Structure 1
């Protein structure tokens, strides 16, 4: 089972305030634990939305619209993520609970979301085979 730990943005992260050296060290230690346990798949911090682009699909089959950041509703924004693969929801929660406060100032908030597996989306054998082939190709890179 794959889970994404989504680190919610704060006014500081949106302002481009970098984490303290102590927080970076704590996060590196946490990431080392994830690696040693064999559960870490990916993880990164994200730049503020002033450097981002939002693409929206306002109408079915319509042309997408492009809007440059920044975006104002901080509580809905993401500052980073960690992708893990674990054996249960409970294990995912345990790992999320061990993450240091991602903003170091008592403002941290993590949303834990399970990732769909291909089998969750379709039972069509050809589509599942194509998806497996694409994932193998990614491993070879």
Structure 2
């Protein structure tokens, strides 16, 4: 089994349609999908994100990090939420991504999340992280 992150992205049209959709309707639609993934035993995590206008970007392009408040001109570069699923293959992750009840214009990026076992086990930082994961019940 491998973990994959399904990163949800929207464009201006998609975000506008989402804002016009009653909140209870969105909860019902997403809740049904989330429940399906829970029943299938593949859902590890899922979160939606607050309006981009409430966020900030920390830009490391210069010598000193620069913080810029939202909103942002290029909404296609923002993501609005994510799922983490644990599935047998990339193809299965893609199949779940295709079933997300997304608005027209949305996109979903599917990326594998490497496990801690894939890193050098004799590295002091990997050893510390493994110990933390064990203490917190993540391993």
TM-score per shorter chain, which class?
0.7 to 0.9
For 1:14 and 1:55, the matched residues in 2 are separated by 26
Q: 1:18 to 1:47 in 2, by over 3 A?
A: farther
Contact 2:10 2:105 in 1 (8 A): no
Match in the other structure for 1:30: 33
Contact 2:3 2:85 in 1 (8 A): yes
TM-score, length-scaled by structure 1 = 0.81
Alpha-carbon shift at residue 137 of structure 1 (Å)? 3.0
Structure 2: stretches of 5+ with no match in the other structure = none
Structure 1: stretches of 5+ with no match in the other structure = none
TM-score, length-scaled by structure 2 = 0.82
Q: Any runs of at least 4 consecutive aligned residues in structure 1 with deviations exceeding 2 A, and if so which?
A: 12-16, 18-24, 116-120, 126-129, 136-140
Query: Is residue 67 of structure 2 the alignment partner of residue 66 of structure 1?
Result: yes
Structure 2 counterparts to residues 46-65 of structure 1, below 5 A: 46-59=49-62, 62-65=63-66
Contact 1:13 1:79 in 2 (8 A): no
Q: Provide the alpha-carbon RMSD of the alignment.
A: 2.3
Match in the other structure for 2:108: 110
- 1:52-72 deviation line (CA, Å, top 9, x unaligned): 01011124xx32111111111
Aligned length in residues: 134
Q: 1:96 to 1:15 in 2, by over 3 A?
A: closer
